[in-house]
Structure 1
Amino acid sequence: MGTQRRVDAGPDGRDETPEERADRQWQELIQEIRVAQTGVQILFGFLLTVVFAPTFAGLSQTDRTIYVITVVLGALATGALIGPVAFHRIVSGRKIKPEAVSWASRLTFIGLILLLATCTSALLLVLRVAMHNALVPWLVGGVVAWYLLGWFVLPTWARIRYTAEQPHGRARTQGGGRT
């Protein structure tokens, strides 16, 4: 094994080789995926059992359609969030970890969007069955707004606000810390 070229400290202040950076980014991504995978798998598992409940036969055609859409979205989200593991396994040892991290990150982001759609659809179905009133779309819309705020808007705002370039090439941070 030859010597690895050190790279200058990047915007995150780390002095690491491209391989070390890819290893670190992969570990961070896997930790994030574990959280999302657990949630989507539990939700998907519950969704699969609904069709066998006695009350399923009494659902309206609209509610059955929402259910089918929800199950398909859950399956897609599960696939996207498990995809990075399969991707890594297939390309492992091929010396393309930076590329694998990039593709796994894309799959994870797609999985989060599909998880958002699954949660929205499941909430819509449950509230339609439970409440039967005009308040349902407003409640679902409020929850979706909350998801969008917490999952996408706030992180994007923080990314823009705290990574603006400062003098001496250092990223702007709150309290001197870095993430």
Structure 2
Amino acid sequence: MKEQPGGRDGGRDETAEERADRRWDELLQEVRIAQTGAQIMFGFLLTVAFTPRFATIDGFERALYATVVTLGAFAVGALIAPVSYHRLLAGEHVKARMVDAAARLVSLGLVLLAVTVCAALVLLLRVAGLGWASWAIAGGVAAWFALCWVLLPVSVLRRKGR
């Protein structure tokens, strides 16, 4: 939404500061869901290397595991970043810019989370014996994420514009 002259938002009766506060609160609500899921998944991924079955996986699967754990760490870092932004920038009167920057990091975190989930799915399905089918299944899951997380919201925006 574009801000209207006089500091008011086009769809709400709020100042720029009120809009930044509302957007920040909404961002925090959104990130709580993604952050919790990413942290739980990352925790489980960290335990995999300590299971007896881990010793039996091949070199490719070990490299894939290392990639999945690393992607998970990046996802968790990006999804937790708004906390750091708030701690470092609170009281500096830059909330609108802080919200925009934190929102970009959350978007990056969601992309990293989707890639982590799909890569972990490939690893799991390969270890379960599905071989190359694991890639097709993970590709289908990636398409599902793209549909649910990007294409459906974009279609709502397009219908709004008509």
- Fold match, TM over 0.5? yes
Note if contact 2:38-2:113 (Cα within 8 Å) is conserved in structure 1: yes
Q: 1:52 aligns with which of 38, 50, 53?
A: 50
* Matched letter for residue 7 of structure 1: G
Corresponding residue to 2:26 among 25, 28, 37: 28
Counterpart Cα distance in 1 of 2:32 and 2:139 = 27
Letter paired with 2:112: L
Structure 1, 132-141 or 97-106: larger mean CA deviation: 132-141
The answer to whether the 8 Å contact 1:7/1:15 transfers is no
Q: Which has the higher helix share?
A: 2
Alignment gaps of 5+ in structure 2: none
Map 1:46-125; keep pairs closer than 5 Å: 46-125=44-123
2:7 match: 7
Residue equivalent to 1:127: 125
1:161, distance to aligned residue in structure 2 (A): 1.9
Q: Deviations over 1:122-165 (max 9, x none)?
A: 00000011133332222111111101100111111212221x1x
Asked whether the equivalents of residues 9 and 19 of structure 2 are also in contact (C-alpha less than 8 Å), the reply is no
The 1-side partners of 2:25 and 2:117 are apart by 26
C-alpha distance in 2 between matches for 1:8 and 1:126 = 51
Counterpart AA for 2:27 = L
Distance in 2 separating the partners of 1:60 and 1:107 = 34
Gaps of 5+ in 1: 165-171, 173-179
Could you tell me how far apart the structure 2 residues matched to 1:93 and 1:41 are?
28
Alignment length (residue pairs): 158
- Counterpart of 2:50 in 1: which secondary structure? coil
Match of 1:131, SS state, is coil
* CA root-mean-square deviation: 1.4
| Secondary structure, aligned partner of 1:93 | coil
- The alpha-carbon distance between structure 1 residues 43 and 96, as it changes in their structure 2 partners (threshold 3 A), is same
